[in-house]
């Protein structure tokens, strides 16, 4: 098992991979990324991640020369060379190379990277005890500035600031509201709450990244007969919830047990949350083999 990087057609060990300092993402944050998990020698939700990536490529008008099927095969081939049974794929696509904000003045040949690495966002104990979460002062970027469905590298500066604030307050994660004061998302995760047996999560119109793990968990919950609503939510809904949990590619499904010093329910991971954690872990066996 080896940590590898495929960069513009060349495969190297992770520590040897290099990109230009004039890459537009390095200079301006002008790039897209996806985080994808490897479980059981399979790539989980590969096509869903690639669909989102290529929607972003079209939105940002990159001159992408690698087709989606070609990139899919590149990812699988690189995973096979790495031979990691469990790992984390970081996929980056940037606009190109050159100094200057105006795309017409740079080489618009996208730089494409596939990194095979490992990532553990939370310790296993956090899945047993749950996370303490605080509402941060940083808001999500509104859709009229940059569509929140876009997984753009540059927009994550605000998420990093929110995470830093949560760290200084001793919390495991930070909640970000939108500019209307509604629940949006955490710094790297989507948020769900449960009340009277119904799961509720912010609607995409609330200014959230429409997470792949989020969609997977919604399907799993509905598959066992649990009602799921995507709707506008406020902190009041979260404070009065019976259970809550977060989802993300790196986080998977993790309980949330307090918000702003208030217990959610009895302050312990709830029954439905535990059920969805187990269902999600079973679902990870259904990936694309390499």
pLDDT tens, position by position, 22-51: 999 999 999 999 999 999 999 999 999 999
| Residue 1 pLDDT greater than 90, yes or no | no
Q: What distance in Å separates the CA atoms of residue 159 and residue 176, rounded to the nearest whole number?
A: 8
Query: To the nearest whole number, what is the mean pLDDT of the chain?
Result: 96
* 3-class secondary-structure state, position 260: coil
Q: Where are the domains of the chain?
A: 4-117, 124-283
CATH number of 4-117: 3.30.470.10
Do 185 and 191 meet the contact criterion of CB atoms below 8 Å apart?
A: yes
pLDDT tens, position by position, 71-122: 999 999 999 999 999 999 999 999 999 999 999 999 999 999 999 999 888 9
Residues 143-161 have a mean pLDDT of 93
Q: What distance in Å separates the CA atoms of residue 240 and residue 76, rounded to the nearest whole number?
A: 44
Question: What pLDDT sits at residue 217?
Answer: 98
Q: What distance in Å separates the CA atoms of residue 229 and residue 241, rounded to the nearest whole number?
A: 14
Q: What distance in Å separates the CA atoms of residue 254 and residue 248, rounded to the nearest whole number?
A: 9
Q: What distance in Å separates the CA atoms of residue 128 and residue 231, rounded to the nearest whole number?
A: 28
CATH superfamily of 124-283: D-amino Acid Aminotransferase, subunit A, domain 2 (3.20.10.10)
**pTM value?**
0.94
Q: What distance in Å separates the CA atoms of residue 8 and residue 279, rounded to the nearest whole number?
A: 37
pLDDT tens, position by position, 163-216: 999 999 999 999 999 999 999 999 999 999 999 999 999 999 999 999 999 999
């Amino acid at each position: 098992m080896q940590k590898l990087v495929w960069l513009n057609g060349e495969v190297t060990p992770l520590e040897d991979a290099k990109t230009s300092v004039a890459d537009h993402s390095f200079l301006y944050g002008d790039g897209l990324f996806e985080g994808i998990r490897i479980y059981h020698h399979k790539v989980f939700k590969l096509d869903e991640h690639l669909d989102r990536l290529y929607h972003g490529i079209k939105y940002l008008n990159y001159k992408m020369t690698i087709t989606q099927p070609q990139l899919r095969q590149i990812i699988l081939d690189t995973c096979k060379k790495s031979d990691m049974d469990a790992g984390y794929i970081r996929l980056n696509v940037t606009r190109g190379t050159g100094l200057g904000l105006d795309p017409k003045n740079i080489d618009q040949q996208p730089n494409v990277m596939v990194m095979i690495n490992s990532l553990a966002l939370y310790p296993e104990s956090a899945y047993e005890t749950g996370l303490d979460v605080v509402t941060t002062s940083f808001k999500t970027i509104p859709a009229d500035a940059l569509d929140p469905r876009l997984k753009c590298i540059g927009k994550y500066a605000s998420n990093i600031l929110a995470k830093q604030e949560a760290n200084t307050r001793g919390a495991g994660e930070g909640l970000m509201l939108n500019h209307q004061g509604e629940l949006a998302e955490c710094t790297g995760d989507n948020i769900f709450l449960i009340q009277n047996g119904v799961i509720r999560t912010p609607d995409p119109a609330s200014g959230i990244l429409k997470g792949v793990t989020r969609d997977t968990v919604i399907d799993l919950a509905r598959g066992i007969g649990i009602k799921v609503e995507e709707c506008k939510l406020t902190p009041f809904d979260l404070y009065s919830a019976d259970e809550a949990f977060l989802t993300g590619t790196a986080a998977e499904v993790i309980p949330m047990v307090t918000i702003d010093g208030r217990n959610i329910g009895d302050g312990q991971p709830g029954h439905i949350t535990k059920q969805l954690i187990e269902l999600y872990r079973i679902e990870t066996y259904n990936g694309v083999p390499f």
